A and B are shown apart, each in its own frame.
Chain A
Amino acid sequence: MPGSPIDRFLKDPSISETERQSLLRDFGLDKPLPVQFALYLINTLQGNLGISFRYHPRSVLSVVLARMPWTLYLLGISYSLSIVVGIILGAVAGWKKGSKLDSATIGLSFITRSLPVFWFGMALLLVFSYYVAIFPSSGAVTPGVSYGSFIEFVSDVAWHSVLPMATIVFILLGPPALLTRNLIADVSSEQYIYAAKCKGLPFRTLLFKHALRNVMLPLSSYTAVLLGYIVSGAVFTETVFSWPGVGRLIFEAVTTRDYPLIQGAFLITAISVLLANFLADLLYSYIDPRVRYR
């Protein structure tokens, strides 16, 4: 059980010279540094991200891909919820600028964004998994259980998802709420809104059909960039809740010094952020026909 961090890396104190040499050969660590770098570039371009030190001989790509769906599921839903709730909250607050709701929203946004994720996660865990034991404290599934049907599997995962998702949604409420609030506050003084008000349109229609539509552009760019972090953006949450996703994989890789895995995971994250930005550009021109993508 507990062991020193060196224990994990030094396999065996009595490892002989022959063993060490054969390991070095396996990982190509016996070649000169420039050669290693060149090999790395060539391999990466071909999609070969190397072999994980710890899960040897499994490739980095297979290890990361195997865990990705869990993270995509967790963050996909959490991000969407945080954006939707944030936008609604911010829109109403911005519309009623200066009201108590407005100041409450601003305050809440700042507080939630400043909270450390892992602390908040642990707090939720303590309250809702220990003191009031409604939700499970770790994992994505209940260990050792076999399911009678698919629905049972889905509900088991859903039950396990509540706390991690609540953590992420709460923490990420701030930015979209503040952004929307400021945008709506600006737009609400525009002429066309005044004209629509005079037409006697109800509040909800005014806000969501007229005002919000026109501030979609900056909001969608925020969404697109956030989407880039969908691969590894939940390192702390996944670690606290033992969620078997890419975030926790990175955490474990760092603690066990699995360098190929760390590099591979970060590369995949960087690529997904770039892709997301590209998508954001495309989205601009689609949402607003006045903008043309050249």
Chain B
Amino acid sequence: MTIFNRVTTAALALLFISLLIPYSSCVPEENILRTTTLLEDLSSLNPLLGNSITDWWIFLLLYDRLTSFVPPDLHVEPWLAESWEVSSDGKVWTLHLVKDATWHDGTPFTSADVIFTIEYVKKYEISIWLDEVQNIVDAQAPDDSTVTITTDVPLANFPSYVMARTPIIPKHIWEKVDNPKEYANENPIGTGPFKFKEYKVGEYISFTAYDRYWKGKPHIDGILAKIAVPADVSVIEAKKGELDLLGIDVPYVKEVEADPNLKVIVSKGIYFDHLLINTKKYPFSLKEFRQALAYAIDKNRLIDRVLLGYGDPVDAVGSAPAFDYWYNPNVKKYPYDLEMAKQILDNLGFVDRNNDGIRETRNGTKLQFELTNLAGYSPYIRMGDVVSSQLAEIGVSMVNTPVEWATQSKKANERDFYAMVWGWTIAPEPAQYLGTFRAENPYWSAGEMRNQTFNDVFDAQKSEMSPEKRRAMIFQLEAILSEELPVIPIWIMDVVEAYRIDRFTNFTPAPMGIGGIYNKVTWLTVEPVAKPEVTETTTAATVTIQPQVTEVVPWWAYGLIVLVIVLAAALLVKMRKRT
């Protein structure tokens, strides 16, 4: 045998043997809930920078806000601020903070942290939280657990917008950071129920329960979220017992339900899918025309065919059925009625004059338009197909045209479309979505409806401090939108998840699901299924791993590559010499 043969044989033997060595000297702890972020890696551990859904879910675990959205309908409740009063002019808020909250490094949480957060965001113009704090003109801390905030105008949504969104960051850490927009924050310290443990870039991120959490230690020991596991593979892993909680696509529901260890949970969604209408282009500028289209769209059939029933039709434009406090049940509705739709079009003078199945206007223009759609997203494309065929029945031809996201975005910006399949998150605070109808900025304003009553009422509700009166105003806004139809509402998709009932129980469902970015409470209620005997994994428990982010390539990896190249070169030299 040549030396080469011997080396190869030895290397292969070593590889084979190494496969047999048991690799886990540490068994993962029993009560760590393993989940997945599906195809989404996080973008940053810095709560002032991270802006993807995954980031926000992580900040939900690590950080607290002054108030929180609470199941079952995500209404606002006190959190770090356990109570508050507002002055009679609505501009001065006195917040009483909880007294026993601590940061993950043990430092007590005080009012100084709140003041610092507000001033820091303003000073460095942190874009994602700037809107929340821009109305604050003064913030004082009369003592360690009281904060007085003065705003320039009365803000009705102070608890549900300003207090509910900005995560409070620790002063003693961030006062040393003078470049927040570049700061990686690799060891995030918050007051939240979970501490950061480890982040292996592209692989997983893990958290341990914070035993001194002011609301009480979570019942599970930790959370591990695998990153970018494809949907199909995650179902396999759940059935194998390697995943405890996951989001599933509707086609997998039957298979998952058949597994005795998995339970499916369906929660209401908050992502509102609709047809965005360009009300500047004729005939979409005619309210009656838009209403006729609404009558011709059979939302229930759409949901059954495209979503397999996993969704809710939306009637009140501006809110979501999940938020039943804010969802107006008495708006003008457009039940599926082909005759009504046809009659409206007849009255408008849109008749099929040449028998080609498509109506024309009085001067002969065909009612044939492009229905701009998003390429690559199949629920939208299928929705577009069905809507197309439904509208064809009343003689309006909407051609389903999927385009790339960048193109669609450009068309929306330049108002270069007639109707577009579109979607928007409806936040628990109603003014956020409703505000897009008021905005002057063309990219963010929906449908460009200009209705003076709407604008007046919207401006008024901003400062309406009485909850009942404000609710009535919000209802009025939804009624106006549902009458005017600058967008034609279609559906809100359900969020379908599954979890292992043999491992964990007592999840608290909420709109957007257990893994939703607003559902904090579930992580305090979930608990392991009681086992007769808890195996003491002392090795894992006592090893204190320094919180770490590992992605820098170990030096030996480069050495290995160099070694391989050298071996290959040596082989070549040997071969050449033999020629």
Contacts and interface: CB of A to CB of B under 8 A. Distances in A.
Contact of B242 (A126, A137, A154): A137
Contact of A7 (B43, B425, B557): B425
Interface stretch (B229-237, B318-326, B389-397): B229-237
B357 interface: no
Interface in A234-293: 239-242, 244, 248-249, 252, 255-257, 283, 286-287
B493 to A, nearest CB: 8
B495 interface: yes
A110 to B, nearest CB: 27
B545 interface: yes
Interface string B20-52: 010111101000101001111101100001011
B contact residues, range: 35 or more
Contact of B203 (A20, A54, A58, A143): A143
B246 A5 contact: no
A6 B202 contact: no
A14 B201 contact: no
Interface string A1-40: 1111111110111111111101100100000000000000
B150 to A, nearest CB: 21
Interface string B87-127: 00000000000000000000000000000000000000101
A241 B233 CA distance: 8
Interface of B: 15, 18-19, 21, 23-26, 28, 32, 34, 37-41, 43-44, 49, 51-53, 125, 127-128, 130-131, 134, 181-182, 184, 198, 200-204, 206, 224, 226-230, 232-233, 236-237, 239-240, 242, 246-247, 249, 271, 273, 374, 376-377, 405-406, 423-425, 427, 432-433, 435-436, 441, 443-444, 495-497, 513-516, 540, 543, 545, 551-553, 557-558, 560-561, 564, 572, 575-576, 578-579
24 contacts: A1-B246, A1-B495, A1-B515, A4-B423, A6-B405, A13-B444, A14-B436, A15-B444, A16-B130, A26-B181, A54-B41, A54-B52, A72-B561, A139-B204, A140-B203, A143-B206, A148-B25, A154-B18, A156-B24, A158-B18, A213-B579, A242-B203, A248-B202, A248-B228
A19 B130 contact: yes
Given A16-B131, A130-B240, A249 B202 contact: yes
Contacts of A213: 575, 578-579
A151 B18 contact: yes
A11 to B, nearest CB: 4
Contacts of B575: 213, 216, 287
B557 A69 contact: yes
A13 B174 CA distance: 27
A contact residues, range: 35 or more
A196 interface: no
A56 interface: yes
A142 B271 contact: no
A18 B470 CA distance: 27
Interface in A109-163: 122, 125-126, 129-130, 133, 137-148, 151-152, 154-156, 158-159, 162
Contact of A141 (B39, B200, B497, B576): B200
Contacts of A287: 572, 575-576
A13 B558 CA distance: 44
Interface string A199-230: 00000000001000100100000000000000
B578 A209 contact: yes
For B51, B202, B204, B575, which residue has the most chain A Cβ atoms within 10 angstroms? B202
A216 B576 CA distance: 11
Contacts of B579: 213
